[in-house]
């Protein structure tokens, strides 16, 4: 999705803007642009289609000494990716210059309004409409930027984060948002704005979170905030805990493999935040024992990989707590008028905390008066701020589009909830509780063992198999849940068609697709259903499939496996944390073997802030 960065201070803005935009590249984009202003001189705008490199080339010989500017990477929604549609946009006479993330839903109606007032539109974007609308209100009421932006916010429908410069207000950048992320940073060299933390992390860790329907004015050494009435409001400066290095590649070829290799560490960090003196400690969430006791139903709502975490969690939570759990894709949940139990808990899982459908699902739950808990990685994100309770995963910034380390920390969050809820509901005794906690704390070392032991093997396997057109992932129970994630990982980064099936479901149709050398990856960790999964693998093998099995050490799968990746043994509930590592590595190395842009797969964006 689109990215915004801005700077106003003592340094040359162009360097900070280009550096910030490069940190946002991972989000996916198809054009980029900057607007830079040197005090009272006219704003200079440069844009180009394609990679940021094109923009850099275009401006390399320009003398851009301005110390105030805004930049943007655009992911086309309204209108094709070209220079005219790229941001920044200006109003007809250049009075207003603006960059925008999000979508203006009523842009057609606003276009008519502007045309009636003799505005001309040159691009196909909703952003140009927004820019001219601000200009219209600015000139009509002559009450300055706060009034013009506020009137515009009341008039437009949709989601937006905007950064605006006014010709008559040099050395000021104006910011506003609704349902699209934006943070504002401050240090001794100036003020910063960004739609995503990594863009400014190198410069400052001190940020303000601007809320929906609020406005900010960034001067060279201060930031002021205003509400919709135009009244000034106070905000607290917060510190971001992420390391600068976690948003850099640090010698790795891709962010994805760097992030896979960080999994043992981030899982440990997340565990340490949730286990104190060998007891699960959910105090960070604010959930009380009395509240937990009352939950009669749990709904887990999420998208993509986070939804797969939800499916894993469903098996574990139901089994351990005996509370019924329902898992739903957020884009379905939000529109199906769900009937929710008043004594229920809605859990939203989201790395970014900004996924539009997950945010809408959260609001639906809140509208129905149901308690909400979000499992979120990005502090201060919309989902985190709007939930009743928040459990933060400590994965740090995740840059590769395909999630890996955040997924693993989300699993840890779910295990912790399941164990604690089971304890509060008296479904496990002290001994069982202790055994679960002890085993849980061994997960980071086991992840490290897998990374050390199987990476090379998987590299070799992937280079042999990267030509394939299809692959199937099968398993039962939690192994099925993790098959869904393995399948998504492979298809999204390697563009190989894959499907995940509950092993027992295969013979109800899909088995007809199995032919000589079709790759079938079987996950077999769950003792009670192990033999059944093996039987399903025998069935596909006898129809010509090449069978790869992921299974705990000591398991004899020789009769069925053409190849095997072994993982350490663990408690049955925690296998997803181990099996997912080889599956993520398969996705990564298959894509590398095909020479693909692993960190930025085609058509995908890191955080899906539009429907």
Q: What is the CA radius of gyration of the chain?
A: 25
* 328/492 with CB nearer ligand F6R: 492
Q: Residue 214 pairs with which residues in a beta bridge? A: 177
Tokens of 522: 């079987």
CB of 264 to ligand F6R, least distance (A): 19
Catalytic machinery residues? 2, 606
> Using the rule CB under 6 A, is 591 a contact of ligand F6R?
no
Count of residues engaged in binding ligand F6R, rule: CB under 6 A: 15
Helical (H) or strand (E) element with 69: strand 68-74
CA distance linking residue 280 with residue 416, whole number of Å: 7
CB of 611 to ligand F6R, least distance (A): 12
Tokens of 375: 């499992």
Q: Residue 185 pairs with which residues in a beta bridge? A: 192, 207
Q: 150: which DSSP letter?
A: H
Q: 572: which DSSP letter?
A: G
Apex 409 CA angle, 268 and 534, nearest 5: 105
Which residue number places its CB atom closest to ligand F6R?
304
Apex 233 CA angle, 229 and 237, nearest 5: 150
> Using the rule CB under 6 A, is 403 a contact of ligand F6R?
yes
Choose among 200, 108, 213, 120: nearest CA to 159: 213
For residue 544, the SS3 value is coil
CB of 75 to ligand F6R, least distance (A): 14
Distances (CA, A) of 117 to 113, 135, 137, 501: 7, 11, 11, 58
**Contact stretch for ligand F6R (CB under 6 A) within 190-198, 270-278, 304-312, 361-369:** 304-312
Instruction: Judge residue 595's burial from the number of C-beta atoms within 10 Å of its C-beta, 0-12 exposed, 13-18 middle, 19 or more buried.
Output: exposed
* 25/492 with CB nearer ligand F6R: 492
* 135/364 with CB nearer ligand F6R: 364
CA distance linking residue 438 with residue 432, whole number of Å: 10
CB of 350 to ligand F6R, least distance (A): 3
Site for ligand F6R in 338-367 (CB under 6 A): 350-352, 355, 358
> What is the DSSP annotation of 208-253?
EEPPTTEEEEE-SS-EEEE-TTS-EE----EE----SGGGS-TT-S
**Contact stretch for ligand F6R (CB under 6 A) within 144-152, 299-307, 431-439, 447-455:** 299-307
* 252/433 with CB nearer ligand F6R: 252
> Using the rule CB under 6 A, is 303 a contact of ligand F6R?
yes
> Using the rule CB under 6 A, is 609 a contact of ligand F6R?
no
Helical (H) or strand (E) element with 156: none
Among positions 32, 199, 267, 306, the unique one binding ligand F6R when judged by CB under 6 A: 306
Site for ligand F6R in 459-488 (CB under 6 A): 488
* 67/355 with CB nearer ligand F6R: 355
**Contact stretch for ligand F6R (CB under 6 A) within 104-112, 117-125, 303-311, 562-570:** 303-311
> Using the rule CB under 6 A, is 545 a contact of ligand F6R?
no
**Contact stretch for ligand F6R (CB under 6 A) within 203-211, 220-228, 297-305, 438-446:** 297-305
> Using the rule CB under 6 A, is 587 a contact of ligand F6R?
no
> Using the rule CB under 6 A, is 411 a contact of ligand F6R?
no
Backbone angles phi, psi at 10, to 5 degrees: -95, -20
CB of 189 to ligand F6R, least distance (A): 31
Site mask for ligand F6R (CB under 6 A), range 487-526, x = bound: -x---x----------------------------------
> Using the rule CB under 6 A, is 132 a contact of ligand F6R?
no
* 173/378 with CB nearer ligand F6R: 378
Who's near 392: CB < 8 A, 6+ residues apart? 273, 284, 376, 377, 379, 384
| Dihedral sign computed on CA atoms, order 258, 259, 263, 265 | positive
CA distance linking residue 474 with residue 62, whole number of Å: 57
For residue 124, the SS3 value is coil
> Using the rule CB under 6 A, is 305 a contact of ligand F6R?
yes
> Using the rule CB under 6 A, is 197 a contact of ligand F6R?
no
> Using the rule CB under 6 A, is 393 a contact of ligand F6R?
no
Query: Which residue ranges make up the site for ligand F6R (CB under 6 A)?
Result: 303-306, 350-352, 355, 358, 402-403, 488, 492, 607-608
């Amino acid at each position: 999705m689109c990215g915004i960065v801005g700077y106003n201070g003592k340094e040359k803005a162009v360097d900070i803007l280009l550096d910030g935009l490069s940190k946002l590249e991972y989000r996916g984009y198809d054009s980029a642009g900057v607007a830079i202003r040197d005090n009272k001189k006219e704003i200079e705008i440069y844009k180009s289609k394609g990679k940021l490199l094109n923009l850099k080339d275009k401006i390399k010989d320009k003398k851009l000494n301005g110390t105030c500017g805004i930049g943007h990477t655009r992911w086309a929604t309204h209108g094709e990716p070209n220079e005219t549609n790229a941001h920044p946009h200006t109003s007809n006479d250049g009075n207003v210059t603006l960059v925008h993330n999000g979508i203006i839903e009523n842009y057609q109606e606003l276009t008519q309004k502007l045309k009636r007032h003799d505005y001309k539109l040159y691009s196909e974007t909703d952003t140009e409409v927004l820019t001219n609308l601000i200009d219209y209100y600015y000139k009509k009421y002559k009450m300055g930027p706060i009034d013009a932006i506020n009137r515009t916010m009341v008039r437009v429908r949709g989601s937006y984060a905007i950064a605006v410069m006014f010709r008559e207000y040099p050395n000021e950048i104006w910011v506003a948002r609704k349902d699209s992320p934006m943070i504002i940073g401050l240090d001794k060299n100036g003020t910063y704005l960004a739609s995503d933390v990594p863009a400014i992390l190198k410069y400052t860790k001190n940020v303000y979170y601007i809320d929906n329907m609020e406005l900010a004015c960034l001067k060279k050494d201060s930031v002021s905030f205003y509400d919709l009435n135009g009244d000034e409001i106070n905000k607290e400066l917060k510190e971001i805990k992420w390391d600068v290095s976690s948003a850099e590649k640090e010698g790795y070829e891709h962010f994805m493999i760097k992030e896979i290799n960080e999994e043992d560490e981030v899982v440990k960090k997340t565990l340490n935040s949730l286990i104190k003196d060998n007891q699960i400690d959910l105090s960070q969430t604010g959930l009380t024992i009395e509240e937990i006791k009352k939950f009669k139903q749990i709904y887990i709502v999420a998208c993509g990989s986070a939804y797969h975490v939800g499916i894993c969690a469903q098996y574990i939570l139901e089994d351990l707590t005996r509370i019924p759990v329902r898992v739903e894709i957020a884009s379905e949940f939000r529109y199906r008028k769900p009937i929710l139990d008043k004594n229920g808990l809605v859990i939203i899982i989201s790395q970014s905390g900004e996924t539009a459908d997950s945010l809408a699902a959260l609001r639906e739950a809140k509208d129905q008066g149901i308690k909400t808990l979000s499992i979120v990685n990005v502090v201060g994100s919309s989902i985190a701020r709007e939930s009743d309770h928040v459990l933060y995963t400590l994965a740090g910034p995740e840059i590769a589009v395909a999630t890996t380390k955040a997924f693993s920390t989300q699993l840890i969050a779910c295990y912790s909830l399941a164990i604690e809820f089971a304890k509060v509901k008296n479904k496990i005794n002290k001994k069982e509780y202790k055994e679960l906690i002890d085993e849980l704390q061994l997960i980071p070392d086991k992840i490290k063992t897998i990374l050390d032991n199987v990476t090379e093997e998987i590299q070799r396997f992937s280079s042999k198999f990267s030509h394939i057109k299809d692959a199937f992932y099968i398993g039962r129970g939690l192994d099925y849940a993790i098959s869904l994630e393995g399948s998504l990982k492979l298809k999204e980064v390697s563009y190989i068609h894959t499907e995940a099936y509950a092993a027992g479901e295969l013979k109800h149709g899909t088995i007809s697709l199995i032919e000589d050398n079709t790759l079938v990856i079987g996950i077999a960790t769950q003792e009670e259903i192990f033999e059944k999964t093996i039987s399903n693998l025998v069935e596909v093998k006898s129809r010509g499939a090449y069978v790869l099995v992921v299974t705990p050490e000591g398991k004899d799968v020789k009769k069925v496996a053409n190849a095997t990746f072994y993982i350490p043994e663990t408690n049955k509930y925690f296998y997803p944390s181990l099996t997912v590592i080889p599956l993520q590595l398969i996705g990564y190395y298959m894509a590398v073997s095909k020479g693909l842009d692993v960190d930025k797969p085609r058509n995908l964006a890191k955080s899906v802030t539009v429907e």
